[in-house]
Structure 1
Amino acid sequence: MLQTKYYEDYDLGNQRETIGRTITETDIVLHAGQTGDFFPHHMDAEWCKTTEFKQRIAHGTLIFSIGVGMTATVINPAAFSYGYDRLRFIKPVLINDTIKVQVSIKDKHDDPKRPEFGRVVELVEVLNQKNETVFVCDHILLVEKREK
């Protein structure tokens, strides 16, 4: 879906939530192959039985990637991603956990380098099926101003 939304159209506190997505063993294996991260925490079921979680956990970078992807439902030609700050892996995500993402507008201010843009900061929170926060980050958007 294409929707033009200018800096002035973003309201502090505005929220949206995604539907759920179950994390599978296939997700973890594919991510390990793509990144080269074959640490036993993700790949060795027998070794993981000796850890506090008792089973394999998803890569934090996998949850970051899937969580951000789940929020990408609208194409806004007036905005683009400027990056991510304050990434934190709060709790492990296990095979067959289902995650959803809540996004809320946390901050907005003029861009110090580009007067025709503003910065919008989205708080991205990934929650598991128990409604526990498993991952958080700030997503920074550069957004065109309607009035330049």
Structure 2
Amino acid sequence: MIHEQFYEDYEIGFSRRTFGRTITETDIVMHAGQTGDFFPHHMDAQWCATQDFKQRIAHGTLVFSVGIGMTASTVNPRAMSTGYDRVRFVKPVFIGDTITVAASITEKRAHPKRDTHGIVIERIEISNQRGDTVLVCDHLYLVERRTPGIES
């Protein structure tokens, strides 16, 4: 779906929430193969049984990737992602956990070099089925202004 939105159209406080997605053993194995991260925390059930969590945990980068993908429901031709700040893996995600994502606009600011664009910050909070926050980050968007140089 395409949803055209200029910088001026974003409102601080606007939020959205995704449906759930269950993290599977296949997700973990595929992610390990794609990244080369075969650490025992993710792959060795017997070893993990002797550790604090007693079970395998999903890669933080897997949870991040899946969670961000869950928020990608529309294409805005006036905006593009410029990255993520302050990514924090707050709690582990286990095989069988279902994650949901809340995304909220927390900040808008002028672009330091382009008066034709602004920066919009969207706080991403990924939670498990118990409501525990498992990952938090800020998603930065470069967004075209409808009216260059005028702050709103």
Q: What TM-score do the two structures reach when normalised by structure 1?
A: 0.99
Report Cα offsets for 1:19-64 as digits up to 9, x if no partner. Answer: 0000000000000000000000000000000111100000000000
Aligned-residue RMSD, C-alpha: 0.4
Secondary structure of 1:106 counterpart: strand
Quote the offset at 1:74 in angstroms: 0.5
| Alignment partner, residue 9 of structure 1 | 9
Aligned to 1:96: 96
Matched residue, 1:135: 135
Q: 2:37, 2:114 → 1: CA distance? A: 38
State the alpha-carbon separation in 2 of the partners of residues 114 and 26 from structure 1. Answer: 44
Query: Can you give the 5+ residue segments of structure 2 that lack an aligned partner in the other structure?
Result: none
What corresponds to 2:145 in structure 1? Answer: 145
CA distance in 2, matches of 1:91, 1:146: 40
CA shift at 1:69, angstroms?
A: 0.3
Q: Aligned residue for 2:67?
A: 67
Aligned pair 1:49/2:77, yes or no?
A: no
Q: CA deviation at 1:113?
A: 1.2
Q: Which amino acid aligns with 2:87?
A: L
Q: Which runs of 4+ in 1 moved over 4 A?
A: none
User: 2:93 is paired with a residue of what secondary structure?
Assistant: coil
- Identity value in percent: 63
Distance in 2 (CA, whole Å) between partners of 1:111 and 1:136 is 24
CA distance, structure 1, for counterparts of residue 67 and residue 132 of structure 2: 14
Q: Secondary structure at the match of 1:69?
A: helix
What is the aligned residue count? 148
